[in-house]
Amino acid sequence: MKSFQLQLRFLLPLLVTLALAALVALPLMDRMTERWFARDLNNRGLLLTRTLAAALDQSDDANRLTQLRALLERVVQDERLVAIALCSPDGERVLATRGYPSSLGCAQAAQQAQRSAPRLTLATGAVHVGVYPVNPEQQPGDRLVLLQDLSFTERRSEDTQRYLLAFMTLLGLAVAGITMAVAQISWRGWVSGMRAILRGEGILRPLVQAPELQPLALEVRERLRDLEDEFYRERGPLTEWDPERLRQLLKTQLRGDQVIIVSNREPYIHQHGPDGIVVRRPASGLVTAVEPVMRACSGTWIAHGSGDADREVVDAQDCVAVPPDSGEYRLRRIWLSDEEEQGYYYGFANEGLWPLCHVAHVRPVFRESDWACYRAVNQRFADAVVAEARGEDPVVMVQDYHFALLPAMVRQRLPKATILTFWHIPWPNPESFGICPWRRELLQGLLGSTILGFHTRFHCKNFLETVDRFLEARIEHEHSTISYRGAQTLIESYPISIAWPSEAQQAAWPPPAEARRAVLERLQLPRDTVLAVGVDRFDYTKGILERLHAVERLLEKRPQWQGSFVLVQVAAPTRSVLEEYRDFQHRIQRVAERINRRFGAGRYQPVVLLAEQHDSVAVNELYRAADICVVTSLHDGMNLVCKEFIAARDDERGVLILSRFAGAARELTEALIVNPYHVEETADALHRAALMPEAEQRERMASLRMTVREFNVYRWAGRMLADAGRWRLRQRIVARVQRQREAPETVA
Ligand code: GDG
């Protein structure tokens, strides 16, 4: 895009100059030179006639014609004179030299000579026709018709045209070059120059400081600032994080070392469908974020094989190359029995740790048997990491709360490994965390990591305080490190994000108007619908209930929206095995039905609940069709839905309503930030979003897009891996120094 703009900046002035030359300058030049030549030839004709006048008058009658003919024949030997004729006062051609066209009578010659371009084309070439009185005082008297050669003027005119074209081309090139240079270099200078003038500095000082011009100066100053903002937004970040930069970082700072990722959820699930095995992508924020990173690293991803056809596609090491169409990395599947899955995943992770870490007022359940399972499964995954490691110091990226014990288990077997653990959900305060019976073991497990990452500084602070409360560890707040049993862990915040869509991906999207038409048609909604969307896993932490209450309050408080405001809620089923989740899903269904009964009329239903998983194309279409996207999580590590919505809106339209309890609220401050527990506030935000002028939407969205584009998932991974690279370098230096210190002793 940028190179296209550059080319345009260069080509446009060049083309304009050439077009001006071809359409205006050359014809104008032609006409002017012809006029100049005609004037010169006329003067020459007059001079010649005057010189001949004496000879014409002196000749006696008897020989007059013979003498005259001889005289004129001599005169026409001049190379620029083609022919001469003598006309009598009554318009008779008395004599004509050789080469004079017999068809050109005296009257016609006089007529021709009157024209603005007195030219005639003969067999020998173009001639200029001039008629001159022999004696100007004698009227009517004899006249000479002179035909003068025009071919030399044409030659000169062609030369002039050539020079002019060359000059205009050079001029065009110079203008194009200067335009590009000015656009590139002096945008800032120009803006600051204008700013200085508007601040009342420089030569225009008295004018700009005049009180009556102050409002105008203020207005222009603001417009300039807007222009500058637009410019920087359009240009994007100076050094963008992308897969290539991440690959470079792996090659240089990590010297191409092996990368192993561990997560519970697998990025691709093979399932039996009616027409054979199909591949499905799970609805998971973790997978959304980590998969582009793995594609850039080309390592191994270890995850639970949960699809009913998963076993049928793996090799002898339980591995399969994914993505299915390009096979960019290895997916190693771990098989869990139903009991293991029940105890480790549903039990300890999702009934214990998930509610423990999300302050969403659901009581955590801790069972001894679940804990035993959790430990055993962590050990199995740790064994797989060791089996997968090609050397003694791989980079292991551990994902999420399913593997709090794994870092220490891997550290025990591979002491030199670099273990980066990322906790995708919030970390609570020490009091909340303290209710977990195995709090010390969990903290010890996590401190096996080299780096432990959270989305926000706030979660880091909670973790440091929790360790301080429950373990005997040394905490260095200045460096945000914890030293425990001789090993050090860096606690750092790395806000996660999404992969910013490429230009090719964006070009393949349907235009927003088309997406909107398709969505409204599919859901049978009228064209004037104010469309709000929510896209979540069907989880109680996502604030879906609070969202429905806000919609209900909006319709109650502002009846003008009844009949036109619609919330389309995609709720992908999740953890439905758990009673808490089943109850929650039923409750949401009941509340949606109640609202629809209360405010629905005819075909109008204010809440459309789509309780099934959608493919990513459908989700993107919904984002592009929406007027409003609502994210009302009661607590969320980050939340990627809001970032996906922003990335989808290349038209810079649409309003984001975002919970202040989502990690994303720290970055996306141009959204309408709400407290989802405050139903009234969220209802007012919905009203404000529905009425927001397009200009304000554009302002907010453009700024949000700039943030998400710059702080993308490659930056997330890049920062973490760069920190790991630095740590590994330090370790190598320490080891070298140690060796040098020990070497003389050995010799001695
Ligand atoms: C955890 C943390 C953190 C949802 N429904 C469908 C669908 N989705 C996709 C969304 C989005 C993802 O699932 C949800 O991401 P979130 O970030 O909102 O939430 P969690 O799954 O809870 O993720 C969270 C995240 O980890 C990353 O660190 O942000 O705080 O809780 O990508 O688009 N995708 C498809 N169909 C659906 O029906 N295709």
For 606-664, write each residue's pLDDT tens digit.
999 999 999 999 999 999 999 999 999 999 999 999 999 999 999 999 999 999 999 99
Contact 635, 658 (CB under 8 A): no
Sheet with 329-334: list strands edge to edge.
319-322, 329-334, 300-304, 259-262, 395-399, 418-422, 451-454, 487-493, 481-484, 474-476
**DSSP string for residues in 637-695:** SS-SHHHHHHHH-TT---EEEEETTBGGGGT-TTSEEE-TT-HHHHHHHHHHHHH--HH
Residue closest via CA to ligand 1's atom 25 equals 285
Looking at residue 660, which CATH number applies to its domain?
3.40.50.2000
Q: How many CB atoms lie within 10 A of CB 373?
A: 24
CA angle 645, 649, 654 (to 5 degrees): 80
Contacts of 224 (CB under 8 A, 6+ apart): 191, 194, 195, 198
Question: Shortest CA distance to 659 belongs to which of 686, 688, 632?
Answer: 632
User: What is the model's pLDDT at position 229?
Assistant: 63
Residue 31 CA to ligand 1 center (angstroms) comes to 73
Counting from 1 in the atom list of ligand 1, the atom nearest the Cα of 289 is 27
Q: Please write down the long-range contacts of 71-75, taking CB distance under 8 Å and 24 or more positions apart.
A: 72/97, 73/97, 73/98, 75/48
Residue 485 is assigned to a structural domain of this protein: yes
Residue closest via CA to ligand 1's atom 22 equals 285
Residue 322 CA to ligand 1 center (angstroms) comes to 21
Question: Shortest CA distance to 129 belongs to which of 35, 71, 32, 45?
Answer: 45
Considering just the CA atoms, what is the radius of gyration of the chain in Å? Answer: 43
Residue 448: Cβ-neighbour burial (10 angstroms; 0-12, 13-18, 19+): buried
Residues in the chain with pLDDT values less than 50:
2, 747-748
Residue closest via CA to ligand 1's atom 7 equals 283
Residues 12 and 154 in one domain: yes
Question: Sign of dihedral through CA atoms 399, 405, 408, 409?
Answer: negative
Phi, psi angles (nearest 5°) of residue 657: -105, 125
Residue 425 CA to ligand 1 center (angstroms) comes to 12
Residues 542 and 581 in one domain: yes
CA 143 to CA 232: how far, in whole Å?
77
Residue closest via CA to ligand 1's atom 15 equals 285
CA 455 to CA 626: how far, in whole Å?
28
Residue closest via CA to ligand 1's atom 12 equals 285
Residue 363 is assigned to a structural domain of this protein: no
Helices 26-58 and 151-185, axial angle in degrees (round to 10): 150
Counting from 1 in the atom list of ligand 1, the atom nearest the Cα of 615 is 39
Residues 325 and 449 in one domain: yes
Residues 146 and 262 in one domain: no
Three-state DSSP state, 112: helix
Residue 177 is assigned to a structural domain of this protein: no
Residues 472 and 533 in one domain: no
CA angle 244, 249, 252 (to 5 degrees): 125
Residue 705 is assigned to a structural domain of this protein: yes
Residue 324 CA to ligand 1 center (angstroms) comes to 22
User: What is the model's pLDDT at position 747?
Assistant: 47
Contact 476, 488 (CB under 8 A): no
- Give the DSSP H or E segment for 145: strand 143-149
Q: Name the residue range of residue 666's domain.
A: 524-711
Three-state DSSP state, 92: coil
Q: Which of 493, 509, 542 is the last residue of a domain?
A: 493
| Residue whose structure tokens are 């969320």 | 636
Counting from 1 in the atom list of ligand 1, the atom nearest the Cα of 613 is 38
Pocket test for ligand 1, best of 265, 279, 288, 635 (most atoms within 8 A of CB): 288
User: What is the model's pLDDT at position 5?
Assistant: 62
Residues 584 and 475 in one domain: no
Task: Assess whether the previous peptide bond of 140 is cis (omega < 30° from 0).
Answer: yes
Looking at residue 125, which CATH number applies to its domain?
3.30.450.20
Enter the tokens of residue 456: 């926000």
Residue 288 CA to ligand 1 center (angstroms) comes to 7
Pocket test for ligand 1, best of 458, 616, 640, 642 (most atoms within 8 A of CB): 640
Q: Quote the number of domains for the chain.
A: 3
Residue closest via CA to ligand 1's atom 23 equals 285
Q: Which of 158, 174, 208 is the last residue of a domain?
A: 158
Residue 301 is assigned to a structural domain of this protein: yes
Pocket test for ligand 1, best of 619, 624, 635, 646 (most atoms within 8 A of CB): 619
Question: Sign of dihedral through CA atoms 447, 452, 458, 461?
Answer: positive
At 366, the amino acid letter reads: F
Residues 471 and 564 in one domain: no
Residue 284 CA to ligand 1 center (angstroms) comes to 4
Contacts of 12 (CB under 8 A, 6+ apart): 176, 179
Residue 310 CA to ligand 1 center (angstroms) comes to 22
Contact 240, 2 (CB under 8 A): no
Residues 301 and 445 in one domain: yes
- The CA–CA distances, whole Å, from 531 to 57, 79, 202, 591 equal 103, 87, 52, 19
Residue 390 CA to ligand 1 center (angstroms) comes to 32
Q: Which of 493, 508, 538 is the last residue of a domain?
A: 493
| Residue whose structure tokens are 């800032």 | 188
Residue closest via CA to ligand 1's atom 28 equals 424
Contact 659, 674 (CB under 8 A): yes
CA 380 to CA 378: how far, in whole Å?
5
- For residues 300, 305, 306 and 307, what is the CA-based torsion angle, rounded to 10 degrees? 90
Phi, psi angles (nearest 5°) of residue 80: -90, -10
Contact 403, 381 (CB under 8 A): yes
Residue 272 is assigned to a structural domain of this protein: yes
Residue 502 is assigned to a structural domain of this protein: no
Contacts of 348 (CB under 8 A, 6+ apart): 366, 367, 370, 371, 373, 374
Counting from 1 in the atom list of ligand 1, the atom nearest the Cα of 422 is 28
CA 540 to CA 86: how far, in whole Å?
113
**How far apart, in Å, do the first and last CA atoms of the chain sit?**
67
Residue closest via CA to ligand 1's atom 14 equals 285
Who lines ligand 1 at CB under 6 A? Answer: 283-286, 288-289, 424-425, 496, 535-537, 570, 572, 613-616, 619, 636-641, 644
Residue 535 CA to ligand 1 center (angstroms) comes to 8
Residue 739 is assigned to a structural domain of this protein: no
Residues 393 and 441 in one domain: yes
**Cα atoms in the Cβ-side hemisphere of radius 13 Å centred on 431:** 1
Counting from 1 in the atom list of ligand 1, the atom nearest the Cα of 636 is 30
User: What is the model's pLDDT at position 138?
Assistant: 77
Residues 531 and 387 in one domain: no
Enumerate helices (H) and strands (E) in the chain, giving the number of each.
27, 23
User: What is the model's pLDDT at position 191?
Assistant: 60
pLDDT in tens, 482-523: 999 999 999 999 999 999 999 999 999 999 999 999 999 999
- The CA–CA distances, whole Å, from 348 to 353, 369, 442 equal 6, 9, 12
Counting from 1 in the atom list of ligand 1, the atom nearest the Cα of 640 is 17
pLDDT in tens, 412-460: 999 999 999 999 999 999 999 999 999 999 999 999 999 999 999 999 9
Residue 537 CA to ligand 1 center (angstroms) comes to 7
Q: Please write down the long-range contacts of 15-20, taking CB distance under 8 Å and 24 or more positions apart.
A: 15/172, 16/172, 17/168, 17/169, 17/171, 17/172, 17/175, 17/176, 18/168, 18/169, 18/172, 20/168
At 602, the amino acid letter reads: G
Residues 590 and 693 in one domain: yes
Residues 382 and 447 in one domain: yes
